[in-house]
Structure 1
Amino acid sequence: MTASDIQDYHAATGCPLGRAQELLSAMPPDLRERVLLAVKQKSSRKLLIDPIETDSLLAEKVREAADEATRAADLAGHQGRERSHVVWAMQKKILAERYGIAWFSPKDMNPDVIFD
């Protein structure tokens, strides 16, 4: 991790430089690599998303897993608070087990953001 990485993360997320360094340092290497790639690809979105979500080879599988996880959460009666975390956990499991794809949820990609 370089000073430039910290500056880029700070610029993309708006978190203070010290906090940016702290967050990046605490991330496992594979997540940090994906987060820094997302920072470089960031558009006008407020949140970082895992770059594989826009990868032409993987995006469809990520969407399919999200749809399947959402349906499973609905069938299991998960509503309201914490629902997104349940969906993301299922989606991550589907992608890993079925396709061998490591996917990082919005919470993984944005550790300083509180989701429901």
Structure 2
Amino acid sequence: MIVDTWRLGHEVPEEVAAGGKQVHEAVHRRVQTGRNRARRLHGEDGHRVARELGISPESLRGWYRQAKADRGEGQAGELTTAEHEELKRLRRQNAEQAKTIEVLRKAAVFFAKESDR
């Protein structure tokens, strides 16, 4: 991701060199800045803008489509960024709950065997 930050024309901040959660947040902010800039410039020549940002024209088209969806102008059934984030959160929560259920199942089997002795 640091490469993407560099490609978007930003200097790598000191917190990126430090590592950890700060790296992710700093890189995410800079990538979002580049995406927002790309969305504003989309009316211009897409290939030129993509080249200027150091991304593929398809990435630029994807960002533009997502911006349209966020404004409510997307195609039917297209998710907004907020809906994507909620879907990711719910999938993560679902996976955690599935792991918890599996642990509880194994614990129930273990304790059932222990009580039979």
Give the TM-score of the pair, scaled to structure 2.
Answer: 0.26
Q: Which structure has the highest helix share of the two?
A: 2
Greater relative contact order, per chain length (Cα 8 Å cut-off, separation 6+): 1
Give the TM-score of the pair, scaled to structure 1.
Answer: 0.26
Bigger Rg, structure 1 or 2 = 2
